[in-house]
Amino acid sequence: MKQTKSEQKKSTRHAGERHLTLGRGLRALFGSVWRHKYIWVIALFLIHVGFVDNNSFWRRYQLVAENEATMREIKRYEEKFEADRSQLRHLKTDPEALIRIARENHRMKAEGEDIYYIIENSDSI
């Protein structure tokens, strides 16, 4: 189907109107953004300071959480150290405790002594 010249002008006019409408929309959007430029700058600054930067609030939160976990681990090791220190002090002062630990933990025996170990299976009735 061939279009007449008047139909071609109408279709061209409609395309031009769409182009003008698109241009007006972009101008309106740009004008709206330009009108609120300080809000956009503040929002970008908050995003940068909050999440993007190496010293961001998010990274700071992660470091505080990691520090708390490390402090809990240090406390656990200090408690274990104190328990071991008291056990060592007890072993140095009491020879009977030394013999008991040697027999229980290291399976040592005295001369002329027989030791029998009874191993129970957990799946037996």
pLDDT value, residue 63: 94
pLDDT in tens, 35-77: 888 888 898 988 888 888 888 888 889 999 999 999 999 999 9
**What's the CA gap between 14 and 39, in Å, rounded?**
37
- The residue-averaged pLDDT of 85-95 equals 89
**What's the CA gap between 57 and 61, in Å, rounded?**
6
Higher pLDDT, 86 or 123: 86
pTM for the structure as a whole: 0.48
